[in-house]
Amino acid sequence: MRITVCLTDTRPESWIEGLRAALPDAEVSAWTPDAAPADHAVVWAPPQAFMDQQPSLRGIFNIGAGVDALTKLRLPPEARIVRLDDAGMSVQMAEYVCHALIRHFRDFDGYAADARDGRWSYRKPNVRQDFPVGVMGLGVLGQRVAKAVAQFDFPVKGWTRSPKQIEGVQCFAGHAQLDAFLAASRVVVCLLPLTPDTRGILRRETLQKLHGGRPGGYVINVARGGHLVEADLIPLLDDGSLAGATLDVFETEPLPADHPFWRHPKIDVTPHASARTQREESIAQIAGKIRAVEAGGDFDRIAGVVDPQRGY
Ligand code: NDP
Ligand code: OXD
């Protein structure tokens, strides 16, 4: 069995070494344009040329959870995309979202400013029941985030494609219930996959519905930059419709140096760092799935296989 590794912006050596150790019978090598056809690929954002030159691929194992960089490509006819299934990311995402939420709710930036001025003064506490948190997408990451937020006694709402019942989460589903979900949420956390259905879902029209249309809505986007219509955000912050935003992902990454998000006082920016791929855990997960496929020859036996119709 041959495995080819093609990782944009990531050095492949440690991945190759780890995969060779985990799958001693496999031939594992870095992809080059003249490489022999492989059975499986381990990838991050490969170019179209990679897919065109690997017609025999059966498994395309993505080293992330989001597969939007793959679903936009023309894939080999038999190939199935397999996403990472948590592999150490959900706990990081829960930490990140809880940090952003609590920093805003407790006004820790205000206390930090006071501390810089040597000022000892209390800020009026916010009321938790007035801060319902709406999580868009209750998949592997969204469910973990919803549970973590609920641990701090915030009311939690969730929005998904198919109806769900999750203890402690008021669930909404489909476009018919999107407005009700937005109205019931003050803080919105985006953990959707980027698909044609979800691109631009955070835009003027939807963001204005947060918190029942009252001022004070807050946006946390940790999914993909394409979910947010970037040009719509700053006017809503500047006219007071929204209270702030924490953004980890952007339409263009790295975020260009002259982008206004960097310096806006109500926006906190991080460099697509909310949940980093954990190499050891990911290699173990991918190797386990390749072994299972090779033993049974069937992708339906493993978790994380992307449905090409849904795009996630
Ligand atoms: P999952 O595929 O496990 O979950 C996706 C969720 O989104 C599901 O609940 C699904 O609904 C819901 N959903 C999909 N389409 C729609 C729609 N049209 N309307 C309503 N709900 C929809 O994904 P993960 O939780 O693993 O990851 C989510 C995303 O997070 C990734 O796609 C990636 O873009 C991003 N990510 C970002 C990282 C970062 O560092 N910033 C790191 C890792 C991931 P249903 O349950 O009904 O299918
Ligand atoms: C992912 C990511 O999709 O890191 O896993 O963004």
Domain count, the chain: 2
Q: Is the CB of 144 under 6 A from ligand 1?
A: no
Residue 301: its pLDDT value, please?
A: 87
| Nearest-5° Cα angle at 249, 243 to 255 | 100
C-alpha to C-alpha distance for 65 and 312, rounded to whole angstroms: 9
The answer on 263 and 178 residing in a single domain is: yes
Instruction: Name the burial class of residue 183, with classes exposed (0-12), middle (13-18) and buried (19+) by CB atoms within 10 angstroms of its CB.
Output: middle
Atom of ligand 2 nearest to the CA of 64: 5
- What's the 283 CA to ligand 1 centre distance in angstroms? 22
119 and 29 in one domain? no
| Same domain for 135 and 210 | yes
Asked if 247 and 223 sit in the same domain, the reply is: yes
Query: 139 CB less than 6 Å from ligand 1?
Result: yes
> Residue 176 has what pLDDT?
98
Among 224, 227, 259, 310, the one annotated catalytic? 224
Q: What is the pLDDT of residue 131?
A: 98
Q: Residue 99, class by beta-carbon neighbours within 10 Å (0-12 exposed, 13-18 middle, 19+ buried)?
A: middle
Residues flanking ligand 2, CB < 6 Å: 64-66, 277
Q: What is the pLDDT of residue 161?
A: 98
Q: Are residues 32 and 111 in the same domain?
A: no
Q: What spacing in Å lies between the alpha carbon of 161 and ligand 1's midpoint?
A: 10
Q: In terms of domains, do 171 and 257 share one?
A: yes
Q: Give me the average pLDDT of each 10-residue run along the chain (312 residues).
A: 97 98 98 94 98 96 98 96 98 98 98 97 96 98 98 98 97 98 98 98 98 98 98 98 98 98 98 98 98 90 95 98
Same domain (yes/no): 77, 173 = no
- Co-location of 81 and 118 in the same domain: no
Residue 301 lies in a domain: no
Ligand 2 centroid to residue 230 C-alpha, Å: 20
217 domain residue, yes or no: yes
- Residues in contact with 176: Cβ distance below 8 Å, sequence separation at least 6, in sequence order: none
- Say yes or no: 183 and 40 in one domain: no
Q: Which domain holds residue 257?
A: 90-269
In this structure, the answer to whether residues 105 and 237 fall within a common structural domain is yes
- Identify the pLDDT of residue 271: 98
Separation CA 275–CA 279 (nearest Å) = 12
Which of 272, 279, 301, 310 is the catalytic position?
A: 272
Answer left, alpha or beta for residue 88, where phi above 0 means left and psi between -120 and 50 means alpha: left
Distance (Å) from CA 75 to ligand 2 centroid? 20
Helix (H, G, I), strand (E, B) or coil at 248: coil
pLDDT of residue 296: 87
